[in-house]
Structure 1
Amino acid sequence: MSIISPKLFQLLETLKKPTSENNIPYMYVDTVGKVTVGVGHNLDAHKDMLTLPFMVKRFSRYPVKGGDTGIAINTNKILGRAATQDEIKNDYNFIKQHKGLGKYNPENLSKYTTLELPVAAIDSLFKKDLSIALAMAKREFGAPFDKYPITCQAALIDIAFNVGNFSSFRGTFVPAIKGTGVYSKMPMSERWKIASQNCRRGQVSADRNRHVAQWLMEGTKAVTS
């Protein structure tokens, strides 16, 4: 697994700020209907919910519209204990069945869950997900990736972290950075500028899109081959 340098990781820590990726200890539905936890960890994609150290924080859920509260915790009612696999499945299934909760700010949805991840577990999961995103970016851009300005590396990791791949960015964004096709004779500084203008993602906040665009614009100030 790719190792993220301390300086690069420091930049990527901004993903955990409120204006960027949500840092939520319980399961919630993201803007595209995926069950998520922590700092944007997609449980639907990773299918690893049963391996995560969820803890019991509440015994019952607040009813959604229509009155459904799912399956409450009625046995071994001890707050702070490790959740059972059935309890994890119950939280997941409840959130999965009520995707309408994705219309609301995740920070206000704790009452619809019974379990949470400890801070240390969220941090560990975040670092693992960033390493996966870094490996993905390196596969896409090859050896030149390590020579990119550090802010541009962070931007590419952020996109991989959020989107999962670069398939939806192959029209302009990826060719501009790689310098292929019509961009082959353009200086790298101009290509970073084009990339910054074509990095918007519909499923993230406007603030986060602006942040990543600014990271890419920082590449125009650096000399890269």
Structure 2
Amino acid sequence: MATYLEQSLTKLKEFEGCIPWMYRDTVGKITVGVGLMLPDANAAESLPFLLGSRPATSQEIAAEYARVDSLPQGRASAFYKSPNCLELPQQTIDAKLTSVLQGFEATLRTHLPHYDTLPDGAKLALLDMIYNLGPAGLFKDFPHLIAAVESGSWTEAAARCLRRGPSAARNAWTREQFLSAVVTNIQAEAESLLKQIWRLIRQIWNALFGPR
């Protein structure tokens, strides 16, 4: 079964798109993979782009960066693909995204000391939001959501997670993750109650008939 971090990676690729070639995003920044911004040609050259089946040279990467940079912004990612464009291996894209998610988790742990004890659904929702909004956007613009997370009020968190910008489907998915935490809590409480009942039954049995 996939871990919550693996599930997060899969959903972010679905929501953000996963483009192996360089393209210009909606604000004109040269980007690759799952929203990995490349501020200059040096940043692109640090990545293991391929030309067909062989590694691309630094000169080829710099030339491809310049080609994409010369094209107009505001086009679909496919517009920036040429017949011989360089592509980033999927393993590299996944590794970069995993590293970004781990960095965001470190930020979440700093702000939410009990982060590691949260239900997986809540972690998935928070990772989606912090990736989409950035740490400042999440913690400064969603104080009621953060308060609900800190108190474990998952129904309230679900009601406070709506963002402007992401699709209705993405907002709905994030809301569902917070609501799934409600079920997780109920299951945990039920299991705890059953254990307590079982211990009580054993104590009564031992008192009446002696240890088995």
Instruction: Decide whether aligned partners of structure 1 residues 125 and 187 sit closer, same or farther in structure 2, where only a CA change above 3 A counts.
Output: closer
1:33 corresponds to 2:28: yes
Counterpart of 2:203 in structure 1 is: none
1:83 corresponds to 2:56: yes
Instruction: Decide whether aligned partners of structure 1 residues 91 and 159 sit closer, same or farther in structure 2, where only a CA change above 3 A counts.
Output: farther
Structure 1 residue ranges, 4+ long, deviating more than 4 angstroms after superposition: none
Answer whether contact 1:192 1:220 (CA < 8 A) is retained: no
Cα distance per residue 1:59-114 (max 9 Å; x no partner): xxxxxxxxxxxxxxxxxxxxx322222322222233234342x332x255422872
- Larger relative CO (CA 8 A, sep 6+): 1 or 2? 1
Unaligned runs of 5+ in 2: 187-212
1:154 corresponds to 2:124: yes
SS of match in other structure, 1:37: strand
SS of match in other structure, 1:36: strand
CA positional deviation for 1:115: 0.7
Residue type at the aligned position of 1:82: P
Which whole-Å CA distance do the structure 1 matches of 2:169 and 2:148 have between them? 28
CA positional deviation for 1:162: 3.1
Residue type at the aligned position of 1:137: L
Q: Which of residues 15, 24, 27 in structure 1 aligns to 2:12?
A: 15
RMSD: 3.1
What's the % identity of the aligned pairs? Answer: 29
Instruction: Decide whether aligned partners of structure 1 residues 169 and 53 sit closer, same or farther in structure 2, where only a CA change above 3 A counts.
Output: same
Which whole-Å CA distance do the structure 1 matches of 2:19 and 2:5 have between them? 19
1:111 corresponds to 2:111: no
Cα distance per residue 1:157-207 (max 9 Å; x no partner): 122223332336523x23432359xxx9x87134313333x3x242x4443
1:51-90 map, 5 Å: 51-57=46-52, 80-90=53-63
> Which has more radius of gyration?
2
Answer whether contact 2:121 2:177 (CA < 8 A) is retained: yes
Answer whether contact 1:192 1:219 (CA < 8 A) is retained: no
Cα distance per residue 1:32-64 (max 9 Å; x no partner): 33222112222239x73221100114xxxxxxx
Q: Which shifted more, 150-159 or 208-217? A: 208-217
Would you tell me which structure has more helix in proportion to its own residues? 2
Which whole-Å CA distance do the structure 2 matches of 1:136 and 1:99 have between them? 35
Give the number of equivalent residue pairs. Answer: 184
Residue type at the aligned position of 1:134: E
TM-score by length of 2: 0.71
Which whole-Å CA distance do the structure 1 matches of 2:116 and 2:167 have between them? 28
Q: Which of residues 168, 171, 177 in structure 2 aligns to 1:209?
A: 171
TM-score by length of 1: 0.67
Unaligned runs of 5+ in 1: 1-5, 58-79
Residue type at the aligned position of 1:213: R
CA positional deviation for 1:152: 1.4
Answer whether contact 1:41 1:129 (CA < 8 A) is retained: no
Which whole-Å CA distance do the structure 2 matches of 1:9 and 1:176 have between them? 21
Which whole-Å CA distance do the structure 2 matches of 1:136 and 1:146 have between them? 12
Counterpart of 1:137 in structure 2 is: 108
